[in-house]
């Protein structure tokens, strides 16, 4: 029997971290044949050449598609989408996969799914149905949903939303959040091991910070990151561990501002921590600060607090461990004070992650093995 050829596309460190165990399952399967296409930030020195992490985990990359322009302007990102579309057209013609497997909402993935649609390749989409009102990822995610054929979602509310978009409930599967699988499966570093790996010493107070551009916000990235750093000026004797932002519009000013700030504060900067170091780090910090989705989907499993700044994640389901605040230094500082409050710290002991307890990867693999994709390309709009 011919193996079902599954082509996985990944364009960022965070996305690969979520996909890893599904990829491993496909690789180990006797019924499925894994093909890996790497693009976007994975291939950029500016973002840590994170494709090497994929190879270090034992995977063979079949194709690399260079698509990122050096410019982080609206024009540059738009052109990157076009370059990606051309690259995926060539790769899909060569690989001829039976199915494309993608996760999330980034513009690199949008390019891949557009090309797959024209090539009549069915797409399985992971983590659809979510909302992030502060970023254009919101529109890209729902567009990817409409171009996809199988849907693996992280919560009931997200399943309902995918069906609301006209997708057949028979092809929409509630599996939970993928990030929890890595927390359960990886052997996370001890404090001593991590300090050696990162070449730093944890202090009495420590924060892990990731701040991405808010692509639909009228407030400039320069102003936003300055407000965050001003809040840190009001906190004494704290380790600030920064991971750099995604390749979105206006990311460069955020990087530049953080690097300038690092000269006067106890700041540690990493282009990419990689999933193992990132998750290990969460264990030993007081909280995660910024506007990354991991603060909502993964950090609650560690019973740690998240300070979620601004509108980038607005609309996503949140655990009680998430403190929302506005993007101004006073609001952020008040959130930090709340994080350290006795009542909040006590409440963390009973926090439940709304994205589940793990097992999403195994559920996805079972469906990939058993669900027929015959005649799946012609979709009928499902009316509620």
Specify the 3-state DSSP secondary structure of 53. helix
- Print the SS3 string covering 260-285: HHCCCCCEEEECCCHHHHHHHHHCCC
Per-residue pLDDT for 223 more than 60? yes
Distance in angstroms (rounded) separating the CA atoms of residues 289 and 185: 25
DSSP at 119: T
CA 87 to chain centre: 23
Of 33-37, 99-103, 270-274, which gets the smallest average pLDDT?
270-274
pLDDT at 9 over 90: yes
Which pair of structure tokens corresponds to residue 345? 């710290």
Q: Which residue has the higher pLDDT, 111 or 272?
A: 111
At 192 the pLDDT is: 96
pLDDT band at 219 (very low <50, low <70, confident <90, very high): low
Chain-wide mean pLDDT for the chain?
92
Taking the C-alpha atoms of residue 49 and residue 47, their distance in angstroms, rounded to an integer, is: 6
Phi, psi at 45, each rounded to 5°: -60, -30
pLDDT of residue 46: 77
Q: What is the pLDDT of residues 46-92, one digit of tens each?
A: 777 889 999 999 999 999 999 988 777 888 889 999 999 999 999 99
Q: What percent of the chain has pLDDT over 70?
A: 96
> 138-159 burial, b if ≥16 CB within 10 A, otherwise e?
bebbbebbbbbbbbbbbbebbb
3-state secondary structure string across 317-357: CCCCCEEEECCCHHHHHHHHHHHHCHHHHHHHHHCCCCCCC
Q: In angstroms, rounded to a whole number, what is the distance separating the alpha carbons of residues 281 and 265?
A: 19
As a whole number, mean pLDDT of residues 225-231 equals 91
State which of 138-142, 210-214, 285-289 shows the largest mean pLDDT.
285-289
- Give 256's contacts (C-beta < 8 A, 6+ positions apart): none
Contact 2, 28 (CB under 8 A): no
pLDDT of residue 322: 97
Helix residue spans in the chain (DSSP H): 13-28, 51-56, 74-95, 107-118, 137-147, 156-164, 179-185, 191-198, 221-232, 251-261, 274-282, 294-297, 329-340, 342-347, 360-370
Given a contact cutoff of 8 angstroms between Cβ atoms, the answer to whether 57 and 20 are in contact is: yes
**Cα–Cα distance list, 154 to 83, 143, 227, 318 (Å):** 31, 18, 32, 12
- pLDDT tens digits along 248-276: 666 788 888 888 888 776 899 998 888 89
Residue range 12-27, pLDDT digits in tens:
888 999 999 999 999 9
* 4-176+359-370 homologous superfamily: Glycogen Phosphorylase B; (3.40.50.2000)
Lowest-confidence region among 37-46, 64-73, 214-223, 348-357: 214-223
Residue 299, beta-bridge partner list = none
pLDDT at position 311 is 86
Fold agreement (4-176+359-370, 186-350): yes
Tokens at residue 190, please?
């001890």
Per-residue model confidence (pLDDT) at position 178: 95
Residue range 234-252: mean pLDDT, rounded: 81
Tell me: pLDDT of 216 over 60: no
| Distance between CA atoms of residues 273 and 184, nearest Å | 18
| Tokens found for residue 66 | 């260079």
C-alpha to C-alpha distance for 205 and 240, rounded to whole angstroms: 9
What is the reported pLDDT for 218?
52
Is pLDDT above 60 for 280? yes
Angle at 176 between CA 25 and CA 373, to 5 degrees: 55
Instruction: Give burial (CB, 10 Å; 0-12/13-18/19+) of 350.
Output: exposed
pLDDT band at 181 (very low <50, low <70, confident <90, very high): very high
Q: Whole-prediction pTM value?
A: 0.89
Q: Which CATH number is associated with domain 186-350?
A: 3.40.50.2000
In degrees and rounded to multiples of 5, residue 364 shows phi and psi of -65, -45
- Whether the pLDDT of residue 217 is over 90: the answer is no
For 147-167, the pLDDT digits (tens) are 999 999 999 999 999 999 999
In the chain, where are the structural domains located? 4-176+359-370, 186-350
Average pLDDT over residues 221-230: 86
**Residue-level pLDDT at 339:** 97
């Amino acid at each position: 029997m011919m193996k079902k050829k599954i082509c996985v596309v990944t364009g960022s460190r965070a996305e690969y971290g979520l996909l890893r165990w599904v990829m491993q399952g496909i690789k180990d399967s006797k019924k499925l044949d894994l093909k890996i296409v790497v693009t976007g930030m994975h291939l950029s020195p500016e973002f840590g050449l994170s494709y090497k992490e994929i190879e270090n985990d034992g995977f063979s990359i079949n194709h690399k598609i260079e698509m990122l322009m050096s410019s982080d302007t609206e024009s540059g990102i738009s052109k990157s989408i076009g370059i990606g579309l051309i690259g995926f057209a060539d790769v899909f013609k060569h690989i001829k996969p039976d199915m494309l497997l993608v996760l999330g909402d980034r513009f690199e993935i949008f390019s891949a799914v557009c090309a797959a649609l024209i090539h009549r390749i069915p797409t399985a989409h992971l983590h659809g149905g979510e909302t992030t009102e502060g970023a254009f990822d919101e529109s890209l995610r729902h567009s990817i949903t409409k171009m996809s054929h199988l849907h693996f979602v992280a919560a009931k509310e997200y399943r309902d939303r995918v069906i609301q978009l006209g997708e057949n409930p028979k092809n929409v599967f509630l599996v939970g959040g993928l990030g929890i699988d890595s927390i359960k499966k990886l052997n996370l570093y001890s404090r001593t091991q991590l300090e050696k790996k990162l070449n730093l010493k944890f202090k009495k107070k420590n924060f892990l910070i990731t701040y991405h551009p808010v692509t639909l916000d009228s407030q400039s990235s320069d102003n936003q990151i300055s407000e965050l750093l001003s809040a840190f000026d009001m906190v004494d004797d704290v380790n600030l561990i920064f991971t750099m932002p995604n390749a979105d519009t206006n990311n460069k000013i955020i990087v530049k501002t953080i690097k300038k700030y690092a000269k006067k504060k106890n700041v540690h900067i990493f282009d990419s921590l990689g999933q193992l170091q990132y998750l290990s780090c969460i264990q030993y910090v007081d909280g995660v600060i910024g506007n990354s989705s991991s603060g909502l989907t993964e950090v609650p499993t560690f019973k740690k607090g998240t300070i979620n700044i601004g509108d980038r994640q607005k609309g996503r389901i949140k655990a009680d461990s998430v403190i929302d605040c506005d993007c101004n230094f006073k609001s952020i500082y008040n959130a930090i004070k709340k994080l350290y409050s006795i009542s909040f710290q006590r409440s963390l002991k009973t926090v439940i992650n709304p994205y589940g307890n793990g097992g999403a990867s195994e559920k996805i693999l079972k469906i990939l093995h058993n669900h027929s994709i015959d005649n799946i390309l012609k979709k009928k709009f499902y009316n509620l």
